[in-house]
Structure 1
Amino acid sequence: MRAPLLVMHGTADEVTPVGWSRFLTSQWEAASKEVELIEVEGADHWMNGDGGFVAHAVATFLAEQMP
């Protein structure tokens, strides 16, 4: 994969532990791939919580990657 990767994970996720995203991110970094992990405080597996934060984070990431 050549495109930058954005990983977002809720800290209150009870389906998939946030450690999985941390591991994934570390593996991408070890492979010299561009990756950003954003842990969304209090969000669950479906990103229920601060939807405005999530939308802003995605928009910012895309704006940085696709100027």
Structure 2
Amino acid sequence: MALAKSVYNLLFRRTSTFAITIMCGAIVFERVFDQAGDTLFEQINRGKLWKHIKHNYEEAEEE
């Protein structure tokens, strides 16, 4: 209960800190959700994406 009271007093008691907390939380959530989605997409499509197969089609440059 003491942790909840501390969090309330620190982050949610005043409107300004509540708004900043919500904005920062939304930014962090967006970044984590985006990274998780990209990772899941790459796991599902491993071996099918250009970055995984481009070595099969590129020719070595000769000088």
Q: Answer 1 or 2: which has greater helix percent.
A: 2
Higher relative contact order (CA 8 A, sep 6+): 1
* Higher-Rg member (1/2): 2
Using the size of structure 1 for normalisation, the TM-score is 0.32
Higher strand share: 1
TM-score by length of 2: 0.33
